[in-house]
């Protein structure tokens, strides 16, 4: 898989786990590791870089105003960063 495809796939998995209550459960540390792959984006890939930044901010700052079930068990917003 190419670099860009890996970054997009990681973003998609994290975004789905974060924003869809029925999505797969993911530890916060795992999510941030996947998003860190975005650091390898080229300057012309700024749109994806901005999307990754927003998702990373939502995880770190706990911004869940868009989620109707903010405290759903197993959601990424309620998990700690350690295993």
CA neighbours closer than 13 Å in the CB half-sphere of residue 17? 26
Within a domain: 20 = yes
Q: Give residue 80's pLDDT.
A: 45
Q: Is the pLDDT of residue 82 over 50?
A: no
d(CA 39, CA 7): 9
Q: Give residue 74's pLDDT.
A: 52
Within a domain: 83 = no
Token pair of 50, please?
A: 């901005």
How many CB atoms are located within 10 Å of the residue 72 CB? Answer: 15
Within a domain: 63 = yes
How many CB atoms are located within 10 Å of the residue 67 CB? Answer: 17
pLDDT tens, position by position, 19-61 = 777 777 888 888 889 999 999 899 998 899 988 888 888 787 7
Cβ atoms of 35 and 52 closer than 8 Å: yes
Token pair of 54, please?
A: 């927003």
Within a domain: 71 = yes
Q: Indicate whether this model's pTM tops 0.75.
A: no
Range of the domain at 45: 3-78
Is pLDDT larger for residue 10 or for residue 1? 10
């Amino acid at each position: 898989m190419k670099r860009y495809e890996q970054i997009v796939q990681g973003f998609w998995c994290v975004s789905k786990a974060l924003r869809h209550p029925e999505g797969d459960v993911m530890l916060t540390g795992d999510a941030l590791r996947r998003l860190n792959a975005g650091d390898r984006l080229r300057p012309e890939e700024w749109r994806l870089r901005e999307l990754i930044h927003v998702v990373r901010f939502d995880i770190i700052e706990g911004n869940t105003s868009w989620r109707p079930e903010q405290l759903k068990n197993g959601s990424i917003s309620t998990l700690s960063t350690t295993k």
